[in-house]
Structure 1
Amino acid sequence: MNSVPAVRRLRAGDAEAAAALVRSAFAAQDAATDPPSSALRETADSLGAWIEADGGCCAEEGGALAALLLWAERDGGLYCGRLAVAPAARGRGLARALMAEAEREARRRGLTRLHLRVRLALPGNLAFFAATGFREVAREAHAGYAEPTTSVMEKRLDP
């Protein structure tokens, strides 16, 4: 089994590579989502602003970003957004390593929960987060949709 590369903080200089990674990872989802993911429209400017304001972490392979996770302190917890793993790097434990780093970051900040949103059309993603300790706390519909499109999930952390 391959060892998981070291996880490090995202830096402002990672923004262009981060945007390309997010777009390629979300374009390679298991199923199409309706509405399409806004991740497909991420740019170096939009991700650079997120990295600068709130932060995140990444893992590299061969000198290139292989996976990343953005986070932000919101609603009394650490919100995890834009978990992206390059299609060629999937199945190597990178997503788990990044989620573990998010948990460490939340604890460093004295926060007692992680939270995120997952599209209902992506059962593999829902199963991944459930397997890492998240539970659904609500369902939401995108604007203009009568039925829920998203699962709101959280993971409570022991103090």
Structure 2
Amino acid sequence: MAVRVAAAAPRDLFEAAAVIHRAFATLTGRIDPPSAAMNETPETLAARFDRGGAVFVARLDGEIVGAVCADPKADGSLYLDRLAVDPALTGKGIARALIEAVEAFGLAQDHDRVTLGVRLLLTDNIALFRHLGYAETGRKAHPGFSEPTSMDMAKSMRPA
């Protein structure tokens, strides 16, 4: 099984949004508040290109089975979000390949670090990011919540 990751072309955005919806639908009822990822459309994904960001897709046998977004931030970082893998294909290295694509893009665009936010309830996701060298940088509560609901994480793109 060879997974190929590449920058999405405009024609890929419908399928990219669909895989994001499939992946994040598995969180319905598990996280509160619900993820805004369910609001992604081909148009909202395309808007990332206008901001200097990117969308990457993972293909298996020619079909899009994963997607991730990357957005540059004013502080010099690159924000990774909407990491999505088709629920039938988790555990096959697709998420790692997508994350590596964002990191390579970050280096090529001269960003000093990749940042992200992950829900505290998604302990497997947190473990994956830690395994890949991301460290916690803080916690936040979504509006209307008194306790933290998400963790901020970052990985330096510069040699130590």
* TM-score with structure 2 setting the length: 0.91
Query: Does the 8 Å CA contact 1:31/1:121 hold for their aligned counterparts?
Result: no
Unaligned runs of 5+ in 2: none
Show the counterpart of 1:49. 47
% identity of equivalent residues: 36
Q: CA separation of 1:17/1:78 partners in 2, compared to 1, >3 Å: closer, same or farther?
A: same
String of CA shifts for 1:112-131, please: whole Å, max 9, x gaps: 21100000111111111111
Distance of 2:38 and 2:55 partners within structure 1: 19
Distance of 2:93 and 2:85 partners within structure 1: 10
Q: Which amino acid aligns with 1:19?
A: A
Q: Which amino acid aligns with 1:99?
A: I
Q: CA deviation at 1:42?
A: 1.7
Unaligned runs of 5+ in 1: none
Q: Which amino acid aligns with 2:17?
A: A
Show the counterpart of 1:85. 85
Q: CA separation of 1:14/1:52 partners in 2, compared to 1, >3 Å: closer, same or farther?
A: farther
> What are the equivalent positions in structure 2 for 1:7-156 lying under 5 Å apart?
7-29=5-27, 32-53=30-51, 54-74=53-73, 75-156=75-156
Q: CA deviation at 1:21?
A: 0.7
Distance of 2:62 and 2:77 partners within structure 1: 32
Which stretch has the larger CA shift, 120-129 or 36-45?
36-45
Distance of 1:41 and 1:103 partners within structure 2: 25
* TM-score with structure 1 setting the length: 0.91
How many corresponding residue pairs?
Answer: 157
Q: CA deviation at 1:31?
A: 6.7
